Amino acid sequence: MLLDRGPTQHAAVFLGIWSAAILLMKRRKLQIQRQSLQHPVIPENYDFVLSSNTADQVIRNIHAIAESPDRFIVFNRILIALSNLKNLGRVGDVDDILRSLAERDESSHQTSFATLGGFLWAIPVLGFIGTVLGLAQAIGNFSSLLDEQADVSGIVGELKQVTGGLSTAFETTLLALVIALVIQLWMTEQKKAEEVFLDDSQEYCLKQIVSRIRILPTKFNGESQD
């Protein structure tokens, strides 16, 4: 049933396998990304204050945890925020940067499912196309049968082959719908897991960075003015 129903069914199965491979890859990437949430980047000392003077220490901690921290969503957000720390005047500015990065990651999250969405549209359509082709072939065979057979007994005997073709036609749509259903449920679960991770990442940044940060006043040298 999987591979003996013509090119449209082959294409539907191929897209289903491709979709499953994408979802498996996304699940593995999510598992790796979640590991970053298990490592605090701020020293556990309660007296530690994150400021422009101590930001380099946090950056060193991040590089000690991950060899390529920019590949991790959480670490990349923190590195960007800390690199702009000296140019910021309020704690709220740091929070604004982190929220802006969170919105960017949310947009990337939605975009990453665009290919799967296209496959989910195409798989049932391929099934319906296969069914239409099967019906057209069965009807054509039935017309030829009426032209060739004059007696009723011959028509009844050959009619079984025609009905078998109809069964094959509807099986094409059935398989495509089953594949689409499985991929849709799997994709919904994956999207939910990634959304939870993004929420956890934002909470991590709030606890690790925003709640521990202090903006030190900038010192100006007044002696240079006469």
Q: How far is CA 64 from the centre of its chain?
A: 29
pLDDT for 160 equals 62
At residue 172, the pLDDT reads 82
- State the Cα–Cα distance between residues 90 and 6, nearest whole angstrom: 65
Residue 141 has pLDDT above 60, yes or no: yes
Q: How far apart are CA 100 and CA 77, in angstroms?
A: 10
CB–CB of 126/171 below 8 Å? no
pLDDT at site 178: 95
| pLDDT over threshold 60, residue 49 | yes
Count helices and strands in the chain by DSSP H and E runs = 6, 0
Of the chain, the percentage scoring pLDDT greater than 70 comes to: 76
b/e code 108-122 from CB counts within 10 Å (16+ = b): eeeeebeebeebbeb
- The pLDDT assigned to 201 comes to 94
Query: For residue 39, which of 67, 6, 4 has the smallest C-alpha distance?
Result: 67
CA angle (81, 82, 87) in 5-degree steps: 85
pLDDT at 134 over 70: yes
CA nearest 216: which of 62, 55, 41?
55
Q: Positive or negative, the Cα torsion across 189, 195, 200, 204?
A: positive
Above 80 in pLDDT, residue 219?
A: no
More confident residue, 149 or 80: 80
- Measured CA to CA, the distance from residue 62 to residue 20 in angstroms comes to 33
**Averaged pLDDT, 115-129:** 93
The mean pLDDT of 17-36, rounded to a whole number, is 96
DSSP state for residue 66 in the 8-state scheme: -
Ranges 84-93, 125-134, 177-186: which has the least confidence: 84-93
pLDDT class of 146 with cuts at 50, 70, 90: low
Does position 142 have pLDDT exceeding 70, yes or no? no
Per-residue pLDDT band for 72 (boundaries 50, 70, 90) equals very high
In this structure, the number of other CB atoms found within 10 A of the CB of residue 42 comes to: 19
Question: pLDDT band at residue 220, thresholds of 50, 70 and 90?
Answer: very low
Q: Is 52 helix (H, G, I), strand (E, B) or coil?
A: coil
Q: 15: burial class by Cβ within 10 Å (0-12, 13-18, 19+)?
A: buried
Higher-pLDDT residue of 100 and 161 is 100
